[in-house]
Structure 1
Amino acid sequence: MTRYRSPRREDAAAATREAIISSARDLFLAHGYSGVTVAQIAAAARVAVQTVYSSAGSKTAILSALLEPAVNDPTVNEVLDAVAAATDPREIVRLTAAGVRRTHERHWALVFGLLHEGVGEPAAAEVVRAGVDAYVAALSTVAGRLVTLDALRPGLGPDRAVDLLWFYLGQRAWFVLVGERGWTFDQAEEWLAASARQALLRVP
């Protein structure tokens, strides 16, 4: 038997889910993740608490949905493809710095606003950790390309190269320079790329 699908009902369900996630985003940014309850999300979205769970899932699931566009931003794969094709180590660092800058800038309000002070709950921290792991995995690919080109400073291995890429181009660098110290993204990108080249490359 073919199950009937109602486009109108599906549209209404999608709209409800979007309202819940949007309300949660506003509340998380205003009060911090740990300062918000599912009941508050339901009230802001004008739905029942059970509707939050049935439409969008737990508070942790909502956090995951909010962060998904940043974690899976298409810029990441575009940059990694460009890095794989590049043969100039300086260009590889430039491409990486420009890519992580674009990703941070595109999702800045959410990523900085939500993650700068931490999420404060173990289950949510696991969601954030998964995003960080994906970020580090991408930087590991960049480090591997530099190793293949024999571009690293003498004595610098791939693991330490990943550490340095994370130090100069990871989230915390952007949070400090742009979010805390008021640098522009242009200023931060230029300085971080130059510093990463100096720390990593045989010929910076």
Structure 2
Amino acid sequence: MGSETLSDQAPSRRDEYAEMTRQEVIKAARKLYAVPGYAQTTVDKIAREARVSPATVYAQCGGKEGLLRTLMDIWTTSPTVGRIIADSAAAPTGRTKLEVLAAGYAAHAEEAGDIMRIIERAAPSSPAAQAFLDVADQRHIEALEMIVEGIASNGDLAEGLSVEDAAKIIFFHFRNPQLVLAVETFGWGVDRGTRWLVDRVAAAILKD
């Protein structure tokens, strides 16, 4: 008993309630930032949607910008991202690594595509949103570099192409606007759209 630390103790009911409240505020912000949009959403509207006071929105989540940062973190640090990296690392060839990555992009877009669109749409008129988008893009590229390092270690990376440049090529083709363009705007669907993107990326970064 004497060796028990604070981190070993179960959360109190007060802590559990605070976390439940925080999650309700995040849920409300995610809904309202999508429609009517980030610029049109006020802290008062978030508070009404979450059934809390505006003061709670500030105290629990840092207001509008704090909530947008939280959503960006949900998008870029979800367990899905870790699984994509691990599954790509386990794939045996450069081509199969890209195929695993493409499937992961589709799954991640299904999970967090609304957050991607929220931040991308808010960025042109909000310096804070642009800053969060820049952080998200940097995290994205760093994750891709880990995958490309696996391709390079297999000897499948094109001669003369750096890991950094290969990651940027993948980023260019698979980031959310291009994926949406291929899958939704062109009407190709997930299978055809991601297969086409894999073909383009493979031609650009893999050995012949």
TM category, shorter? 0.7 to 0.9
Q: 1: CA distance between counterparts of 2:88 and 2:74?
A: 22
Indicate if the aligned counterparts of 1:23 and 1:45 stay in contact, CA closer than 8 A: yes
State the match for 2:195 in structure 1.
190
Structure 2 counterpart of 1:80, from 77, 80, 85:
85
Deviations 1:109-128 (A, max 9, x none): 3333x134243311222222
State the match for 1:19 in structure 2.
24
Percent identity, aligned pairs only, is 27
Give the number of aligned pairs.
Answer: 199
Q: 1: CA distance between counterparts of 2:78 and 2:193?
A: 20
State the match for 2:150 in structure 1.
145
- Which stretch of structure 1 is more off in the superposition, 193-202 or 39-48? 39-48
Structure 2 counterpart of 1:172, from 165, 172, 177:
177
Inter-CA distance 43–161: structure 2 relative to 1 (3 Å threshold): same
- Return the structure number with greater relative CO, CA threshold 8 A, min gap 6: 1
* Correspondence list, 1:45-194, <5 A: 45-112=50-117, 114-119=118-123, 120-194=125-199
Equivalent residue letter for 1:117: R
Equivalent residue letter for 1:20: V
State the match for 2:3 in structure 1.
none
Deviations 1:93-114 (A, max 9, x none): 11211222211122223333x1
Unaligned runs of 5+ in 2: 1-5
Deviations 1:80-100 (A, max 9, x none): 223334441111111211222
CA RMSD, 1 decimal: 2.5
Inter-CA distance 13–199: structure 2 relative to 1 (3 Å threshold): same
Unaligned runs of 5+ in 1: none
State the match for 1:199 in structure 2.
204
Equivalent residue letter for 1:55: Q
Indicate if the aligned counterparts of 1:38 and 1:52 stay in contact, CA closer than 8 A: yes
Q: 2: CA distance between counterparts of 1:129 and 1:179?
A: 25
User: Cα offset for 1:53?
Assistant: 0.7
Deviations 1:12-39 (A, max 9, x none): 3233222222221221111221222212
